[in-house]
Homo-oligomer: A and B are copies of this chain.
Amino acid sequence: MTTEPAGLRERKKQATRQALREAALRLALERGPDNVRVDDIAEAAGVSPRTYNNYFSSREQAIVAAVTAERESRIAAAVGAHPVGTGLADAVVEAVVTQYTDPDEDARDALLLITTRPALREAFVDSAAAITPPLTAAIADRLGAADDHTAHVLAASVAAAVHVALERWARPVGASSPASGLVVPSGSLPDLLRSALAPLRPALDAAENHRPQAPEEDRRT
């Protein structure tokens, strides 16, 4: 199912998409993001500017996609491939942390560039939402496909937690709250991810142990 034969059409689309995001990143690195016009990206990828916009709805999205492109599916795969003995919570946390722990050297300067420019930062942080669909599938698979709804909510919550972690990580941290000096000055990304996901563990555990029946359980008014 993950390896569909894929029609010719679909493969062309993926090729175009990849060409676009790679061109976007390459040009952004070469010239600086502000000196890259959409037309340049389109030209470099060999399509019309209009077509570019059929694939990405903003320049930032294309650049960021070069870095985040395959994380979504990798996370889902990692959750699915996790030893069955371990809990769902561990599977999810490890999958996320692993996939966000960048083994990729090329991504270094790209991430530096991204975290520098506000517009790119935002696009990068927002890209966390893209893990929701594949993660929904992976979680639903583990819970027994009956409960799609719960899986969706959990996946979206995980994405939200990742969003929070990325936000904290990519921020110079505005000093607008002088209340307590005990704010963590943004540690390493893996640590931030773990601590952001920690509060969701009980929800993941509960979903796993509780999975027998009715989706809408107790309603106390």
Residues of A within 8 A of B (CB): 89-90, 145-146, 148-150, 152-154, 156-157, 159-161, 163-164, 179-180, 182-184, 187, 191, 194-203, 205-207, 212-213, 215-217, 219-221
Question: What are the nearest 10 A-B pairs in CB distance?
Answer: A202-B206, A157-B157, A203-B203, A160-B160, A156-B160, A202-B202, A195-B216, A153-B199, A150-B199, A202-B203
The answer to whether B219 and A183 have CB atoms under 8 Å apart is no
Question: Which residues does chain B contribute within 8 Å of A90, judged by CB atoms?
Answer: 220
| Candidates B154, B164, B215; contact of A201 at CB < 8 Å | B215
Indicate how many identical chains form the complex.
2
- Among candidates B146, B187, B194, B202, residue contacting A213 with C-beta atoms closer than 8 Å: B202
Provided the pairs A145-B179, A183-B148, A221-B184 are in contact, do residues A164 and B160 lie with their beta carbons within 8 angstroms? no
Q: Are A217 and B198 in contact (CB under 8 A)?
A: yes
Q: A154 — nearest CB in chain B belongs to which residue?
A: B199
Contact (A216, B202) CB under 8 Å given A191-B221, A221-B187: no
Say how far A1's CB is from chain B's closest CB, in angstroms: 12
A152 to B220, CA, bound (A): 26
A164 pairs with B152, CB closer than 8 A: yes
Find chain B residues with CB under 8 A from A163 CB: 156
Sample of 17 further A-B pairs with CB below 8 A, known A153-B199, A184-B215, A198-B216: A149-B196, A150-B198, A150-B199, A154-B199, A156-B157, A156-B163, A156-B164, A157-B203, A159-B160, A160-B160, A195-B216, A195-B219, A198-B219, A199-B206, A199-B207, A202-B202, A203-B203
15 contacting pairs across A/B (C-beta < 8 A) = A145-B179, A145-B180, A149-B195, A150-B199, A157-B161, A159-B160, A160-B160, A184-B215, A184-B221, A191-B216, A194-B217, A198-B216, A201-B206, A201-B215, A202-B203
